[in-house]
Structure 1
Amino acid sequence: MNRRLWATLAVVALIGITGCLGGGPSEEDLGENATYDWETNANVSINVTDDRYQAVYNVTNQTRMDVYREDALGSREPLEIRAIQFRYTNGTVVNASAFNVSSNNERTRLGLPAERGQLAFTVQQDNKEVLVQTFRKGSYNVTLPEGTGVGIPLLARVSPGGFNETTVDGRTRLQWNDVQSDTLVVQYYLDRDLLIFGGLFAIGLTAAIGGSLYYYRQIRTLRRKREDVDADVDIDIEDDDSGPPPGMG
């Protein structure tokens, strides 16, 4: 009995330790090299490329930041970040070795090198979609890859609303003055998608017009046939009324 009890306690302890350690990013991922654009006035700047985005956070009176993502059910899990860096107010930039990083099954905690400065990291992203948990409230800039846009609602989605859209160096930039929602989502399209969408729309429109003309002609044909049948019936009736019934003449 004691052996079973100790075995059960060992399993529970192992599960607890695993939960506390969590998945989290590896030291190799955190120490990756990256080049960030630190020149921004926004509280958070997101620079999106084809398969990842770079986030730069302005830090004020803050010693740590918890980063995480939420799944479809709203459960939190550690955000898979890479290439973390910190820029001091004097312009000095340090890498992962200057951070105190810990993870559990819900978040990754970044102990910052200083209370003021800028924090940057990189995140892998799904194709043509950026979903950001807003750990830091305030102003946001999201710069999309070159040759993309969000102007057609059928092909794109941006939340929250109330943003300004500009073009900087041939790239679409979305700007929010004050984001207070828990998440920021940008689904964008490639410019070449417009050609595909336009071609499919043209094909669909042509098919719809062709189908309408076909049914219109069918209706006209049936109407003519019915008119011809009605005319034949009228002629037969007139012929029957031209003389007295048989045996009455």
Structure 2
Amino acid sequence: MRRALALCLLALLTVSAGCTSLFGPGEVPDQQLNENATYDDLWEEEAGVYIDVGTDSYRAVYDLGENRTSLDVYGRTGFGLERPLDISGLRYRYQNGTVITPANSSNFTVDQGREELNITVPEPNGSLAFSAPKPGKSFTVPAFIEGVSYEAALPPATDAAVPLLSNVNPSPSATFEEDGRTHIRWDSVSRDVSVRYYLDRDLLIFGSIAGVLTIAGIAGAVYYLRQIRALERRREEVALDVNREE
């Protein structure tokens, strides 16, 4: 009886703790969606999707085009499963330049499902912007809109040029410097954009370590070469002594 009661209690606690995963996650707080954010420096960028990468988050602006009035956004778990993206500072910009928050319009809404957020905007021909967190010196942005150009501006004093320290996937169409920042551009994207980059000082540290290891390797090779030559000389001396005794 006690065992059955304990099992029932455990099941109840499990269901209570996991109700979010069973019935779907809660809605994104309005305060989070409407929090202060500015995208004035990003609205006019030419890329269909522009990603401004910061230290622990990024800002993204999406040109929705002529026929799109909604966008499904999601992130990925460590197992590659889709999950609702943790966005904040949501904004919509009309074609005439007017910028609104969800609090400004009943037609600007966010519905959260088990795997994604569905963002509905008042009308097509506008742009959508939001901020999202990212881990460390990397970020991954799913291709919410396919077949358009993407551009990512890395943080100042960072780069993604050395393969051992970085990775850019898919392969970029172009990489260039602008205003002291590395920009990566893809002319057309049909799958997740993933970038791992490094700080400029990381390259100096890596170069210093590589230099020390190279010097140590050369010194070791010289040492062993000298040892081998010394053994060869001793062998020759022993051979001469044997010949003399004979």
Measured against the shorter chain, the TM-score band is 0.7 to 0.9
Instruction: Confirm or deny: 8 A CA contact 2:140 2:194 kept in the other structure.
Output: yes
1:122-167, Cα deviation, whole Å (9 max, x unpaired): 0111111111011011101111111111111111111111421121
CA distance in 2, matches of 1:23, 1:218: 71
CA distance in 2, matches of 1:232, 1:12: 89
CA distance in 2, matches of 1:63, 1:131: 24
Matched with 2:92 is 86
Matched with 1:153 is 163
Matched with 2:7 is none
Deviation of the 1:77 alpha carbon:
0.8
1:149-199, Cα deviation, whole Å (9 max, x unpaired): 111111111111142112111111111111112x00111111111111111
The correspondence of residues 1-249 of structure 1 with structure 2, limited to 5 A, is 19-23=22-26, 25-36=28-39, 37-60=42-65, 61-97=67-103, 98=105, 99-137=108-146, 138-181=148-191, 183-237=192-246
CA 1:205 to 1:33, structure 2 compared with 1: closer, same or farther past 3 Å?
Answer: same
Letter paired with 1:142: A
Higher alpha-carbon deviation: 77-86 or 147-156: 147-156
Identity of aligned residues (%): 39
CA distance in 1, matches of 2:120, 2:58: 22
Show structure 1 runs of 5+ residues with no match.
1-7, 238-249
Letter paired with 2:47: A
Letter paired with 1:71: T
CA 1:212 to 1:91, structure 2 compared with 1: closer, same or farther past 3 Å?
Answer: same
CA 1:229 to 1:21, structure 2 compared with 1: closer, same or farther past 3 Å?
Answer: same
CA distance in 2, matches of 1:186, 1:57: 19
CA 1:195 to 1:93, structure 2 compared with 1: closer, same or farther past 3 Å?
Answer: same
Deviation of the 1:85 alpha carbon:
0.3
CA 1:12 to 1:115, structure 2 compared with 1: closer, same or farther past 3 Å?
Answer: farther
Deviation of the 1:28 alpha carbon:
2.2
Equivalenced residue count is 228
CA distance in 1, matches of 2:44, 2:84: 28
Indicate the SS of the match to 1:178: coil
CA 1:197 to 1:91, structure 2 compared with 1: closer, same or farther past 3 Å?
Answer: same
CA distance in 2, matches of 1:220, 1:15: 72
Letter paired with 1:57: Y
Instruction: Confirm or deny: 8 A CA contact 2:61 2:130 kept in the other structure.
Output: yes
CA distance in 1, matches of 2:19, 2:185: 42
**What's the TM-score once normalised by structure 2's chain length?**
0.86
Deviation of the 1:96 alpha carbon:
2.6
Instruction: Confirm or deny: 8 A CA contact 1:166 1:173 kept in the other structure.
Output: yes
Indicate the SS of the match to 1:211: helix
CA 1:13 to 1:189, structure 2 compared with 1: closer, same or farther past 3 Å?
Answer: closer
